[in-house]
C-alpha cells in the first residue's frame, strides 16, 4: 500500500514538473516586447470634422488656392479644352445608346423565353 502511495506521489510530482517546464517556454518573449505603433499624442485629423455630404462638392479651400483657366499653360489649356468640347461626344453617346438598346432587347427576349418556358430557343431543332 505504501509503495502504491509513493508511486502516485512520484507520478504527480512528474506531472507538475513537466507542466511547469512547459509554462516557462517563451516566457522571455512577451507581447510587450514586440514592436508596436509609435506612441502619438496627436488627434486624428478627421476627429471633430463634420461628415461630408455625399454628392456635394468638397470645399476647394481659399480663393487664392484655386487654379484659374488663365493660370494654366498652353498644353494644360488644350487638355481642358478637349474636355469642354462636347460636340464630339455624340458618336460615343450613340454607341453606348445602341449597345444599351441591344442589351435591353436581348434581356426582353430572354425574359420572354423564360415566360414561355424555354431556354436558348435559337438552338432548338437546329440540324448542323
Partner 1 sequence: MSRITHPIVFLLALAACSSSSTNDNVDRQHGRTGNLGYDVPAAWQHKDSNDRTSSTSVWTPTNNPAKESISVIRTEVHLAPSAGPAEIQQLLIQAQNGLRNAKVSSPSQIVSDAGLRGAQVSVDYLPPNMTQRYHRVHAVLLDGDSLVHIFYTAVDPDQSRQAFVRVHVSESGSPRRINGSTGIDRRSRS
Q: Which residues bind partner 1 (CB under 8 A)?
A: 105-106, 108-113, 115-118, 120-128
Least Å distance, CB 91 to partner 1, is 24
- Residue 104: C-alpha distances to residues 6, 97, 100, 108, 110 (Å): 89, 10, 6, 6, 10
The whole-angstrom separation of Cα 31 and Cα 54 is 42
Residue closer to partner 1, measured from CB, 24 or 115 = 115
Residue closer to partner 1, measured from CB, 19 or 112 = 112
The whole-angstrom separation of Cα 6 and Cα 18 is 19
Residue closer to partner 1, measured from CB, 53 or 123 = 123
Least Å distance, CB 99 to partner 1, is 15
Least Å distance, CB 96 to partner 1, is 20
Q: What number of other Cβ atoms are within 10 A of residue 110's Cβ?
A: 14
Amino acid at each position: 500500500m505504501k509503495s502504491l502511495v509513493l508511486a502516485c506521489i512520484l507520478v504527480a510530482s512528474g506531472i507538475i514538473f513537466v507542466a511547469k517546464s512547459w509554462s516557462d517556454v517563451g516566457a522571455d518573449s512577451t507581447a510587450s516586447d514586440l514592436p508596436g505603433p509609435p506612441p502619438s499624442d496627436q488627434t486624428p485629423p478627421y476627429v471633430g470634422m463634420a461628415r461630408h455630404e455625399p454628392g456635394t462638392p468638397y470645399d476647394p479651400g481659399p480663393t487664392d488656392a484655386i487654379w484659374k483657366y488663365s493660370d494654366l499653360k498652353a498644353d494644360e489649356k488644350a487638355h481642358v479644352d478637349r474636355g469642354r468640347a462636347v460636340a464630339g461626344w455624340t458618336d460615343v453617346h450613340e454607341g453606348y445608346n445602341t449597345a444599351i438598346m441591344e442589351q435591353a432587347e436581348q434581356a426582353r427576349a430572354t425574359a420572354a423565353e423564360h415566360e414561355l418556358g424555354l431556354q436558348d430557343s435559337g438552338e432548338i431543332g437546329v440540324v448542323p
